[in-house]
Structure 1
Amino acid sequence: MSWFSALRSNGQQTTSARQHYEDEQYQEEIVAQFYLPYPKLECECSDYHDDIRLSAGVASVQGWRVNQEDAHICDLEFDSDNQLALFAIFDGHNGPEIARYAAKQLPQLIKNNSCYKKKDYGKALEEVFMQFDSSLLNNSVNNELIKISHQHELCYGRIKRRQTSPLLAMVTGSTAVVALLCKQNGQLHVANIGDSRCVIYVKNKTRPMTLDHKPTDMKELKRIEMAGSRVINGRINSGLNLSRAFGDYMLKANGSLGQKEQALIAWPDITVSNEKIRHNDFIVLACDGIWNSMNEKEACSVVRKYIKRNMKPSKICQEMIRRCISPVRPIDGQNGGDNMTCIVVKFEKDLS
């Protein structure tokens, strides 16, 4: 090899090495926007009991994410007069505000709803979801969201966002899975938008109560395209990988279309279960941080195993999280790298 050839070859290797280094640095900058160097594994957990019919537990972990954007409701005494319990998980994105605001506001909105007072619970949940979503652009609500931002920063530090706007509901959002349970007969109404899920285990069978709302689903894709948007790499306009959520009003800005016709909507699917409940049957609600790592049958298998060992529901939730969280720092989209929140509701006796 001539000296010129050797010099050129060495230069190519140097350029290649430099490019590789620069690529790694760029990837590290991107990953650092969304993931911590080490996971925050401190678990917020609680257990709840009513008289003798129900016990429930919740566990929530920030994990690898730079923000904790999950919120939840676990209220066994939601409506004592009608023997109703309320459970919900809200998984925020691009900020925690709407998830936390939903956990705060939805219980009273449900109780105030005229259909709820008539015991038309499915219709009530539909109306409440749309009412809540419509309120998010009000100035007074935006001020409440800003307060939540400040409270969050005091606990968790600065919120990192992909997009910013003076109106937070333009660029932040949240999934929602809400379960209204009659403690007298076990009737369950579930409303869902996004990819958090609810599953009920009855008669030794796993019954999913929700379906994920993804932009690539044919029904969702058709609506998105009719609204003038595109689905690129499974995301609406290369951004959000959900087709239904609260907030995200940049995807609800087609003035010629109604609330249910936008690229992104808050209209929920409603599923009802009237199964006969037996002792040690249970319900699981969880955000996609759990479901990205295990399916409904696997989750119910874990819960059954530890119910047989008389483990507290919150401890079962912690075990679910332990099995799902990634042992190494993830890259964007890798399973086990998201916030994780799980609720387990256990029936302590047969219901008539």
Structure 2
Amino acid sequence: MGAFLDKPKTEKHNSHGEGNGVRYGLSSMQGWRVEMEDAHTAVLGLQTPGMTDWSFFAVYDGHAGSKVANYCSKHLLEHIITSSLGDGGTQGSEAGSESSGGEIPAPCPPAVEAVKAGIRTGFLRIDEHMRSFTDLRNGMDRSGSTAVGILLSPDHFFFINCGDSRAVLYRNSQVCFSTLDHKPCNPRERERIQNAGGSVMIQRVNGSLAVSRALGDYDYKCVDGKGPTEQLVSPEPEVFVMVRAPEQDQFVILACDGIWDVMSNEDLCEFVKSRLEVCDDLEKVCNEVVDTCLHKGSRDNMSIVLVCLPNGPKVSEEAVKKDAELNKYLETRVEEMLSRPGDEGLPDIVTVMRNLSTDSGMPPLPPGGGLASKRSVIEAVYNRLIPYKEEDGSGADMECPW
């Protein structure tokens, strides 16, 4: 926790898919951290009777190791489904019995309240289950993880959050909903921490952990006489249910705090919207988000899942033309700067970026992304004219210098 590399690892893991009326893309990058501790889940169509037209997406931001995040990415959904359906099968169905016509009726999906209860129970069960792992129980592995997800039924969004990763819904071209980060300084979280004998110092649990709810983190879950949701760190998720509005819903974003540290809800959604009007490749859009956050100064692992709904933004010829014109303008300006070296020789990439940031003739930049979102375009021209030297560290900056 807190250790950084001398140079960021910018290789990305990508995935995409389409089904149940939605498309998704995802991207994750290790960045400046010494270890990749993020994980994710993307499932189109649950392999459960009555829920084949449901989908599930989640991002897990691990800390102090990746074990909890990786395990949850593979097994949290099954705990939720089992808990939602219970021992009695799907809600409202007579599974296994024949109707008067001799046919077995199709299973019905679980009721909304059963799903909400199942999500909560699923989190508590997987947290208790992982506690039995030898290395977690004996303190050889002290890892924990946030979890933010969305369970989509044909009629509802079930937003799920435990920790400080975040989900947002973009509807009617504005941020319609956002999950609430679980931080120790929040009054409700602080009260629980103090009731469990802990304290909040420098906005952290006992001056150490930056989140007040998480899976794992068993060092903070050993107060005698307190239940699992009353500990210093709670595994209990908050679940928010919203009715879907097919004509208005555009997309959902799930991301870890490595993204949210440098972009607000509105900035990120506006940036994604602008990119979807230029490109329908969701992996590419997610990669642009991750690269932009790196250039904006994020020092953390970064992961994003973008779920596009049927009424999401579509590619616009006008937007594509304007984006091409902006790219051409930036290329021309970089060429001009490198064609007229100053007294100190050719400018480095940081100086080029700084000069561009004060360019009054610049066409409009992507909303929310700004000049940082065009860093790759600028670097491509720069490196073509001045071959990139690895030792100069110009591929990414410790902090955004402009």
- What SS is found at the alignment partner of 2:213? coil
State whether structure 2 residue 28 is matched by structure 1 residue 60. Answer: yes
| TM-superposition CA deviations, 1:48-82 (whole Å, max 9, x none) | 1116x211000000000000000000111224742
* Residues 208 and 340 of structure 1, relative CA distance in 2, 3 Å threshold: same
Q: 2:271 is matched by which residue type in structure 1? A: V
For residue 277 of structure 1, give the secondary structure of its aligned residue in structure 2.
coil
- Which residue identity lines up with residue 221 of structure 2 in the other structure? K
Q: 1:173 aligns with which of 131, 144, 147?
A: 144
Contact 1:213 1:243 in 2 (8 A): yes
2:70 matched residue in structure 1: 100
Superposed, 1:188-337 pairs within 5 Å as 188-278=157-247, 281-326=250-295, 336-337=298-299
Question: In the alignment, is residue 125 of structure 1 matched against residue 119 of structure 2?
Answer: yes
Per the TM alignment, residue 167 of structure 1 is displaced from its structure 2 partner at its CA by: 3.5
Q: Name 1:87's counterpart in structure 2.
A: 57
User: Aligned-pair distance for 1:166?
Assistant: 3.6
Q: Is the 8 A contact 1:280 1:347 kept in 2?
A: yes
Structure 2: runs of 5 or more not aligned: 92-109, 313-402
1:128 corresponds to which letter in structure 2?
G
1:280–1:212 CA distance, 2 compared to 1 (3 A): closer
Deviation at 1:348, TM superposition (A): 2.8
Quick one: distance in 2 between partners of 1:266 and 1:336? Answer: 27
The CA deviation string for residues 273-317 of structure 1, in whole angstroms up to 9 with x for no partner, is 114123771010000000001011111101111122233111111
CA distance in 2, matches of 1:272, 1:209: 12
**Alpha-carbon shift at residue 321 of structure 1 (Å):** 0.8
Match of residue 343 from structure 1: 305
| Distance change in 2, residues 1:102/1:188 (3 Å) | same
Q: Distance in 1 between matches of 2:158 and 2:140?
A: 30
Q: Equivalent residue of 1:124, what SS? A: helix
2:229 counterpart SS class: coil
The 3-state SS of whatever aligns with 2:46 is strand
TM-score (normalised: structure 2): 0.67
Can you give the 5+ residue segments of structure 1 that lack an aligned partner in the other structure? 1-30, 146-164, 328-334
Note if contact 1:278-1:347 (Cα within 8 Å) is conserved in structure 2.
no
Name whichever of 197-206 and 337-346 sits farther off.
197-206
Which protein, 1 or 2, shows the higher relative CO under an 8 Å CA cutoff with sep ≥ 6?
1
C-alpha separation in 2, matches of 1:349 and 1:229: 47
Q: TM-score w.r.t. structure 1 length? A: 0.77
Mapped contact 2:81–2:118 kept (Cα < 8 A): no
Equivalent residue for 1:11?
none
Retained in 1: the 8 A contact 2:254–2:304? yes
Q: Provide the aligned length of Structure 1 versus Structure 2.
A: 286
The separation in 2 between residues aligned to 1:313 and 1:121, in whole angstroms, is 29
> Using the alignment, how far apart are the partners of 1:280 and 1:255 within structure 2?
46
Which protein has the larger Cα radius of gyration, Structure 1 or Structure 2?
A: 2
Separation of aligned partners in 2, 1:49 and 1:114? 25
Mapped to 2, the partners of 1:59 and 1:277 lie a distance apart of 26
Residue 134 in structure 1 maps to residue 128 in structure 2 = yes
The CA distance in 1 between the partners of 2:240 and 2:75, in whole Å, is 22
SS at match of 2:27: strand
1:72 maps to 40
Tell me whether 1:45 sits opposite 2:7 in the alignment: no
The 5 A counterparts of 1:22-33 are none
When residues 192 and 212 of structure 1 are mapped into structure 2, their CA distance, relative to the original with a 3 A threshold, is same
The residue type paired with residue 342 of structure 1 is: I
Contact 1:174 1:246 in 2 (8 A): yes
2:263 and 2:251 map into 1 onto residues whose CA distance is: 17
Q: What's the offset of the Cα at 1:207? A: 2.2
- Mean Cα deviation higher: 310-319 or 84-93: 310-319
Looking at structure 2, the residues matched to 261 and 95 of structure 1 have their Cα atoms a distance apart, in angstroms, of 24
Q: Deviations over 1:221-251 (max 9, x none)?
A: 1111111111111111111011000111111
